[in-house]
Amino acid sequence: MAKSNKTYKPALQEQKGIKPPKTLSTDSAKSIKAKRKKQPSVNDLVAGITSGNITDLSRAITLVESTNETHTAKAHDIITACLPHANNSVRIGITGVPGVGKSTFIEAFGSFLTDIGKKVAVLAVDPSSTLSKGSILGDKTRMEDLVKDKNAFIRPSPSGDSLGGVARKTRETIILCEAAGFDTIIIETVGVGQSETAVHSMVDFFLLLKLAGAGDELQGIKRGIIEMADAIVINKADGDNLKAAKSAKVEFNRALHLYPEKDSGWSPRVSLCSALKQEGISDIWELIQDYLKTTSSNDYFEHNRNNQNKFWLLQTIEERLKSDFYKSEKIKVELKTQIALVEAGKTTPFAAAEYLLGL
């Protein structure tokens, strides 16, 4: 009678010198699974971040962005521990309407900075999908070269419902990136005409990207954002568009003279560049260096940082009060009732709000 396969195959494998595959014991399998599930401690993450470990930095940012209360508490401890290692970078905000070439510019600018020895962190804030709540532009995939650079770190984050398209936890993420040794932080905002006050209140230098001949009044960029800008850079100044770009530069320079003098003592400048051809990028960095020299010598740089900290203290209080309000079980019940009354025309939105806030 022929032997069954169960006894024949191992015997054949042994004759050929092939060892049968090892099977893990139940205890070994459980041990491996437990190690995979084990989360690094606060001390482990802080040690990793301050030594420049990108994996630990990414993990910590994920905790910062999480709405889980346990994660929030852990993130708070990490940020507190990293704070002494922060505040040692140049923070640059970059905005502009979709299509102006923000991602291409940031890749060219970031690559230039790493080439001169800088460590660059790019916090690219994407518009959020109203369905999945995730990022829908995918900036990281559009910076193919920079993402491979060992001295660069790119972190796309969904903006959620934050004012001006700035991710809710970008301020804390800046601290973590600085603690990880990144000396230049670039924050890219959505730039779809919303208020950019939030990003302006967390950076040292605010750069507005423009296009020549695009019809400024149609771009949704109004007087307010130009007043906030420390520099206007006209991108895509190449080829047939170069003449129009030079003309736009003259027009913007004239317009800037009409705006009131800035508290920083700095006069905003207009520059041309072609991010695609990597032309004019070094000029922009020199411009930023001039700004830093001016604001450091007149103490505005430090004064501005202090004001920003005060602003974010108040913003955090407002955010916490809003969060606690909507988490209240009593509010959840009464809110539904008040919405029904408003929809039925039996009360006004303002009266309903006063009632709910008085609970």
Task: With 0.85 as the threshold, say if the pTM is over it.
Answer: no
How far is residue 246's CA from residue 250's CA, in Å, rounded to a whole number? 7
- Counting DSSP H helices and E strands in the chain, the numbers are 14, 7
- Whole-angstrom distance, CA of residue 42 vs CA of residue 264: 39
What distance in Å separates the CA atoms of residue 157 and residue 141, rounded to the nearest whole number?
A: 13
Domain ranges of the chain: 39-84, 86-298, 310-357
| Ordered alpha helix ranges (H), the chain | 5-15, 26-37, 42-50, 54-65, 69-82, 102-115, 170-179, 197-200, 223-228, 242-256, 281-297, 300-327, 329-343, 349-357
In tens digits, the chain (359 residues) has pLDDT values of 444 444 444 444 445 555 555 555 666 655 555 555 578 999 999 999 999 999 999 999 999 988 788 998 999 999 999 999 999 999 999 988 888 899 899 999 999 999 999 999 999 876 555 455 555 445 556 688 898 999 999 998 766 555 544 666 888 999 999 999 999 999 988 765 555 777 888 999 999 999 887 655 434 455 678 888 999 999 999 999 999 999 999 988 888 888 888 999 999 999 999 999 999 999 999 999 999 999 999 999 999 999 999 988 888 888 889 989 999 999 999 999 999 999 999 999 999 999 999 98
The residue type at 309: N
pLDDT of res. 68: 86
What pLDDT is attached to residue 260? 86
pLDDT, tens digit, for every residue of 277-303? 999 999 999 999 999 999 999 999 999
Token pair in block for residue 18: 């092939």
For residue range 129-171, list pLDDT tens digits in order. Answer: 545 555 544 555 668 889 899 999 999 876 655 554 466 688 8
Q: How many CA atoms lie within 13 A of 11 on its CB side?
A: 6
3-class state of residue 160 by DSSP: coil
Distances (CA, A) of 1 to 4, 359: 9, 86
The answer to whether 281 touches 265, Cβ cutoff 8 Å, is: no
117: left (phi over 0), alpha (psi -120 to 50) or beta: left
Average model confidence (pLDDT) for the chain?
Answer: 84
pLDDT score, position 144: 80
Q: What is the pLDDT of residue 12?
A: 47
Cβ atoms 240, 274 nearer than 8 A:
no
86-298: what fold? Rossmann fold (3.40.50)
Q: Which CATH architecture has domain 39-84?
A: Up-down Bundle (1.20)
Best CA proximity match to 33, nearest among 41, 22, 25: 25
pLDDT in the model for residue 22: 57
Q: Which amino acid is at 249?
A: K
Dihedral angle of Cα 108, 110, 112, 113, to the nearest 10 degrees: 170
